[in-house]
């Protein structure tokens, strides 16, 4: 299983970083995704849209990655992935807006809904809607 990522910068009221995922997010590559977001954060990214339109599959390790990405974008160190399960079970509250999701495929959207992780994110139908919303919120 493999996944490709592409990064794009969109200039708006605030700079927005778009991270597009293509393929399958699973145990073989979720740490790489977290490391990519750490690098983007270190380079100054503060608003992130994760474009899921071409992500065909997301394993449970992908949920840990999404949770860790939110921590990174809040300037925190992500939890140890093994301990990440406990954090996932304690999710609640309002969706944060530093990290938005765009265009999840139905299979990925179901995983987000079944686990409750969708409550942590503002989920947009597509990349353009997410960019408009993130710009308006700036």
Return the pLDDT at 57.
94
Q: Give the model's pLDDT for residue 89.
A: 54
The domain total for the chain is 1
Average pLDDT over residues 66-86: 79
* Backbone φ/ψ region at 103: left (φ over 0), alpha (ψ -120 to 50), beta: left
pLDDT digits (tens, 9 = 90+) for 83-138: 555 555 555 556 788 999 999 999 999 999 998 888 889 999 999 999 999 988 76
Q: Domain range holding 31?
A: 3-137
Q: Which residues on adjacent β-strands are paired with residue 84?
A: none
Domain with 103 in it: what CATH number? 3.30.750.24
Return the pLDDT at 11. Answer: 84
pTM of the model: 0.90
For 34-61, how does the pLDDT look when each residue is reduced to its tens digit (9 = 90+)?
Answer: 999 999 999 999 999 999 999 999 998 8
pLDDT at 24 over 80: yes
């Amino acid at each position: 299983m493999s996944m490709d990522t592409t990064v794009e910068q969109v200039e708006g009221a605030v700079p927005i970083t778009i991270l597009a995922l293509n393929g399958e997010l699973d145990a073989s590559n979720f740490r790489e995704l977290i490391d990519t977001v750490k690098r983007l954060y270190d380079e100054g990214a503060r608003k992130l849209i994760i474009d899921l339109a071409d992500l065909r599959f997301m394993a449970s390790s992908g949920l840990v990655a999404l949770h860790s990405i939110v921590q990174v974008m809040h300037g925190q160190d992500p939890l140890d992935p093994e301990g990440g399960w406990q954090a996932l079970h304690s999710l609640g509250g309002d969706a944060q807006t530093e990290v938005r999701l765009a265009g999840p495929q139905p299979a990925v959207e179901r995983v987000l809904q079944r686990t409750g992780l969708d409550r942590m994110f503002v989920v947009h139908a597509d990349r353009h809607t997410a960019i408009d919303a993130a710009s308006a919120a700036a």
